[in-house]
Amino acid sequence: MPTIDATLELLKLLLFMLFVTSLAAQVWIVFLDIAEYFTKTLNQFRPKPSQDKYSRMGLIVIGGIVLAFN
């Protein structure tokens, strides 16, 4: 059935895009930490350590799903 195949391909693409954007966000936060760019005004937007931990776990789970689909 072509519609099921197309739906699965769309799901793969969406999960891959979610994985790439999540990975980019994690890399950006690490870069800002290394560069010590978090000023007092930016520090209010910084993720809490628990949020950061769960977003990294989510990134691993999404990456595993993407690898399983391919």
In this predicted model, what pLDDT tens digit does every residue of 16-48 receive, in sequence order?
888 888 888 888 878 877 777 766 677 777 777
> Domain limits at 19?
2-69
Nearest CA-CA partner of 70 in 20, 30, 16: 16
| Structural domain total, the chain | 1
Contact 44, 7 (CB under 8 A): no
Contact 15, 65 (CB under 8 A): yes
Q: What pLDDT score was predicted for residue 38?
A: 65
Collect all residues with Cβ–Cβ distance below 8 Å to 47 and sequence separation of at least 6. 29, 55
Any idea how long the chain is? Answer: 70
Angle CA(62)–CA(66)–CA(70) in degrees, nearest 5? 170
